[in-house]
Structure 1
């Protein structure tokens, strides 16, 4: 009887003890970009994390797993991918005073379905030798015939370019954006191909003078011995919309609909919005923190400042189908 009582007492103690649950994160971002954050979170809170890297099929995986999904959070890049998760019904809203205080309204879903963590600007990489200071100032200017045969760009259907086209629609409407796309296409030095870094390589090789790309690729190129010369041949220019600011996109996080460890998952989301986490993320990825008071790395700050466009990213994300239709209508990649 004493043995049974002891077992019962032990069981009661284990039941009443607070459980530290694992938080499982499905991520489109590569492990080396996310792991430093998760390791710092665990060190500070004691909550363990499981990181599952996916390079495609996140929505399909979550839908197939349904209520049995082990995923608590999803981390991804690009506003359209975040919105696609919401549209697929695989996320749930989070109502958190901490998140609302740390992440500006234009960088989070209106109903709390996703939250931005860091931002990157869609900028112009310009040849130091062949492009004068002040020669390019706006996105609209890229359709000017002064750039004929001087622009390199990746596919128009790439998510980053579609987000920019969507922002152009938000500013100028469909018809003017179609005309703009036709103008940019007529200025291309070659058929769209490759990635953002590949366009800078082409500038270094003299194939073109400017390209569109995300800011953080400068950091990546500078860290690669065989790409540093590409980076050194260009400078970053922050164009803006004629009636707005510089187009930015996001890396972000959302709570899954299944979320077996919801409380701990929200704890991680709130921590990711903190100044400590924002600066870790920005340092590792060469991006811009969103929380006011958090600072970008010295390298990122050396590229200069800009004013982010004030069009809500949620509005821009909803224009993705329209932007894709326009890109295909003008046969941008043809």
Structure 2
């Protein structure tokens, strides 16, 4: 058989085997995880709805949707952190939706008050430390500002959404004055100027640049599940604390999404969000990306369960999001880079 004939036959078979999609939805996503591919492909197979993806930075996607206005092809925005979800709502690029499925499955504190966004996975923002050098690690977020930890702390910059959200949560719990005192204390305890992402904060503990670091759990869980340079080979020296277990509980960051204000395929978009709340999709978030499911009762993957059980802060994240601007102002006032 000639190469030409073989190639033609292969193309014909591929054409026959390719799924025929009668409907579609357009997904704007700032989630850049390879494991999410399974979420998308399973939804397509189950529903016959083709997902067209545009990926980018969360803030850039929000700006793009604003610029596109009523002509935007976006059906869904998926992004990370309550601050960005609220930014999208305030920018007018999301719309309220009515879904009994989402209302029943997603806890109230992980929903926008106007149902413009819902959380689908969570990450606990906790403290990691060098077990060889730190005999008395901080047990609360407030402890991180204690002078006994002067020159020991690695943490993200003030422009990072994770930093903004945890300070906003402290404003919600303690008030602005106490939150500012905390920010000043943590800033005084810096081991180095903020640099890099969450994995880099943990690497700082391994390298000895700092003794204590704040990071989301899924970055550590990833190093448990597979090789992460500068972390996986040193797991034995890294300890961790879920803060505030005798108080409010560990702060949780959110990954979530909502239906676009001008969604051309609105019904399909709602179906997709409901799918993300299904048992199957919720298990993928844990097994594929080392996150905590948003839906209660979903089993954890080994890499997530490795870190143990803990009490999570159940503060209303819509209320927390209202303090984001105030949090950034406090960071600026105390000089936190």
Alignment check: 8 A CA contact 1:196 1:212 kept? yes
Partner of 2:314: 310
Partner of 2:69: 66
- Whether 2:269 is the aligned partner of 1:271: answer no
Partner of 1:76: 79
Identify the range of structure 1 (81-90 vs 190-199) with the bigger mean alpha-carbon deviation.
Answer: 190-199
For residue 64 of structure 1, report the CA deviation from its aligned partner: 1.6
- Whether 2:297 is the aligned partner of 1:293: answer yes
Give the Cα–Cα distance (whole angstroms) in 1 for the partners of residues 134 and 199 of structure 2. Answer: 18
Give the Cα–Cα distance (whole angstroms) in 2 for the partners of residues 226 and 206 of structure 1. Answer: 15
Partner of 1:237: 241
Give the Cα–Cα distance (whole angstroms) in 2 for the partners of residues 157 and 313 of structure 1. Answer: 19
RMSD: 1.6
For residue 231 of structure 1, report the CA deviation from its aligned partner: 4.4
Number of matched pairs? 314
The C-alpha deviation readout for 1:148-184, integer Å capped at 9, x for no partner, is 1111112122110110000111111111111111111
Correspondence list, 1:1-334, <5 A = 20-30=22-32, 32-55=34-57, 56-132=59-135, 135-222=137-224, 223-227=226-230, 228-240=232-244, 243-333=247-337
Give the Cα–Cα distance (whole angstroms) in 2 for the partners of residues 106 and 212 of structure 1. Answer: 23
TM-score (norm 1): 0.90
The 3-state SS of whatever aligns with 2:49 is coil
For residue 38 of structure 1, report the CA deviation from its aligned partner: 0.8
Identify the range of structure 1 (89-98 vs 35-44) with the bigger mean alpha-carbon deviation.
Answer: 35-44
Give the Cα–Cα distance (whole angstroms) in 1 for the partners of residues 283 and 208 of structure 2. Answer: 36
- Any runs of at least 4 consecutive aligned residues in structure 1 with deviations exceeding 2 A, and if so which? 219-227, 229-233
Structure 1: 5+ residue stretches without partners:
1-18
Give the Cα–Cα distance (whole angstroms) in 1 for the partners of residues 247 and 237 of structure 2. Answer: 30
Structure 2: 5+ residue stretches without partners:
1-20
TM-score (norm 2): 0.89
